[in-house]
Amino acid sequence: MRGQRREEIGQSTLAILEAECAERAAKAARLKLIRTQFLLAEADLRISFAEEIDCTVLGEALRDCGAYGPRRLLPGK
């Protein structure tokens, strides 16, 4: 019984780690999109966006900075 319980705990821990990894990857992709849009707008001031930029991801990243320490959001800045 003990071996089976340890295996179940290991599988659930692995599932949690995989879900957290997928969540971090999705967040990184959203931040990359925001950085790309920012760099394009900075490079060409005449550019106009057909849609509004969703800043909720940026807000989440800034909130997370307090929990994990400061992070650089924009390369070279």
pLDDT in tens, 9-66: 677 888 888 999 999 999 999 999 988 888 877 766 666 666 666 777 777 777 776 6
- What is the Cα–Cα distance from 62 to 53, expressed in whole angstroms? 16
Does residue 74 lie in a domain region?
Answer: no
Q: Which residues, at least 6 apart from 38, have a Cβ–Cβ distance to it below 8 Å?
A: 74
| 37 in Cβ contact with 53 (< 8 Å) | yes
Q: Give the chain's domain count.
A: 1
The Cα angle at residue 51 between residues 26 and 77, in degrees rounded to 5: 60
Domain range enclosing 38 = 2-68
- Single-letter amino acid code for the residue at 21: C
Does residue 6 lie in a domain region?
Answer: yes
For the whole prediction, is pTM greater than 0.85?
no
- Residue 11: the pLDDT is 77
Does residue 76 lie in a domain region?
Answer: no
- Single-letter amino acid code for the residue at 13: T
